[in-house]
Structure 1
Amino acid sequence: MSVFLWILQIVLALMFVGIGGLRLVSPAPRLRRLPWTDGYPLAAIRALGALELIAGLLVLVPGMLGWSPLLTAVAAGGLAVLMALAVLMHLRRGQQQSAVLPAILLVMAGIVLWGRLDQLL
């Protein structure tokens, strides 16, 4: 199970560090072309990117450095909440196809949360 959790953590870290980084550094016109950004201020999109980047790092780095597995579980829980909200937002906007990737990431983050919390108990 531990190898499986590490693989999920690596994938989550790569996805969220990449996505979050792009949201932080991409020019505003490029971000505005994304359909889900309608109605959201640029500052909120950048803040979301910062949260994703930080959570992406925290889902992997503490375990690599031998820090508390609780940090990994908290980061995975935060990502799960974030992805649940992303799924809801896409479904409310009628963007069912756009909800698939956040749903997959939600399941992955939930498995990491469950697996790392199980190790703590």
Structure 2
Amino acid sequence: MNLTLHLALWIIAGLLAAVLLVSTAKMFVPREKIASLGHGAEWVLDFSPGALRAIGALEFLAAVGLILPAVLDIAPVLVPVTATCVALLFVGAATMRLRRGEQVTVVPDLVYLVMATFVAWGRFGPESFTG
């Protein structure tokens, strides 16, 4: 076991989970209030409240799936599967931002995409919980 890689994967998974949990605010805060936060938040107006709740619910499940299966040692293979799904979520987010012409605000989504891909790679490969 490479302790440095193992620790880095835990830290990055934890950071991603925190980002996803914060992002679930769209389930509870009116989209008009979110959009008033600035240019990078106006995208919420392109989605219905129901779609925003669905996205928020998926983000909550992703946050849980990045951490709990490994901590509880119940189906830990779900961690890299979840990380793969999170990477796909951020591919969609980056695509949406680029279509809206928000090149500057796409950078955090790309960083999160790289982080999720790193967790998926690490947990499917060299630091697998099941191997």
TM-score with structure 2 setting the length: 0.85
Please tell me whether residue 27 in structure 1 is matched to residue 34 in structure 2.
no
Could you list the per-position Cα deviations for residues 74-119 of structure 1 after superposition, in whole angstroms to 9, with x for gaps in the alignment? 1111110000111111011110111111110000000000111112
Please identify which structure carries the higher helix content.
Answer: 1
Query: Does the 8 Å contact 2:35/2:42 carry over to 1?
Result: yes
2:43 to 17, 32, 36: 36
Tell me which structure has the larger Cα radius of gyration: 2
Q: Matched residues in 1 for 2:90 and 2:8: separation? A: 20
Partner of 1:80: 87
> Structure 1 residue 32: deviation in Å?
4.3
Please tell me whether residue 15 in structure 1 is matched to residue 22 in structure 2.
no
Please tell me whether residue 100 in structure 1 is matched to residue 104 in structure 2.
no
> Structure 1 residue 27: deviation in Å?
2.5
Please tell me whether residue 110 in structure 1 is matched to residue 120 in structure 2.
no
Show structure 1 runs of 5+ residues with no match: none
Percent identity of paired positions between Structure 1 and Structure 2: 32
Query: Does the 8 Å contact 1:18/1:53 carry over to 2?
Result: no
TM-score with structure 1 setting the length: 0.91
Q: Matched residues in 2 for 1:31 and 1:48: separation? A: 15
Please tell me whether residue 52 in structure 1 is matched to residue 59 in structure 2.
yes
Task: Name the count of aligned residue pairs.
Answer: 120
Ranges of 4+ aligned residues in structure 1 off by more than 2 Å: 31-34
Show structure 2 runs of 5+ residues with no match: none
Query: Does the 8 Å contact 2:31/2:45 carry over to 1?
Result: no
